[in-house]
Structure 1
């Protein structure tokens, strides 16, 4: 009980904001991770975890039965849900994946703007634990477990300064990484017609071109980046 109380107190105690130079360097590091291909190929697995988690959460909210999530070594993933193969529930489930990392990044920015760096890290740990029970393949289990171990290590052993830098790094990575995945999606669509991407599945269900849905993804992501930058003081409203 004392341990739980100590954790709760640490989670709910605001940290001081990072120095402006440290904050900008942290965001620059996140951008380097996203836009440097060798690092991005590895880090993109974290975006896939959130992407598939977004599908899963919205599927459950829409009343669909979640059948499980698979994460693959090529950074692709698959979320299986049971229910009507068409209609609003399926549309919203498909719509949720690409915006999910940006929306999570916006929520993270809101917590950071109030100083809850450690609270954010523990919230991410809780989300990863819930996701873990839905994973249905070994690589997916390994991927989520390693991600959780990294977050736990920083949240448990890191100093407040390290926790603050890591929390901002994760936030900026989610926001910028979400944008890159949508750009990659459109590049992939332009090379191959009739793909099974979320945008193309939405196009088949709604009879609205896939390019429109890519634009929706990008619009949501850009909105999240802008709002997060305002919340964290990088932009003036």
Structure 2
């Protein structure tokens, strides 16, 4: 019988706030919550995602590119950006979710099962998995009843070729295709009310060229959003 683990105790040992965790969850032994979960809680609150402490089961794949969340209640892809002004970081953000088609949901679930992604432990438990500061981190969460797994994988494309890295890389690459990532991102960016923004406080993107009519329209939309 699996032992129940108090998640807030894990965070106390990691210098994190115990206020974020107030219930007992059966955490899988191949999970990793010591760092990335704190940031994930911010995204959960910001996007109104499913909290692992709720009774709702879900599969969620997150990165700085987008978040895909599948559950009985809804199946969506989420994007969010932080506004930037005169090269200063802004506390303002803009987020939106788009419904996935049932065919897309089935393809994601089938791919997840076919590659046996759930059997792959978090990267800190894989000896061959390299770590770094740049790149992209993918977070995989699966909640079934009281069982919860939380795993992260740093930049699968930068790893040497071994069984776990190949399966994770294949999954995230095919996920981009299934959710039509490029088209959905372009649709989202047309709705962003900021003149400049960044995904996960990384590269700054400018919406239009200054001193043009398009710039003036975007500026008016920006001022309306801030007011």
TM-score bracket, normalised by the shorter chain, equals under 0.3
Structure showing greater relative contact order (alpha-carbon pairs closer than 8 Å, 6 or more residues apart): 1
Greater helix fraction, Structure 1 or Structure 2: 1
Give me the TM-score of the superposition, normalised by structure 1.
0.24
Name the larger-Rg structure: 2
Greater strand fraction, Structure 1 or Structure 2: 2
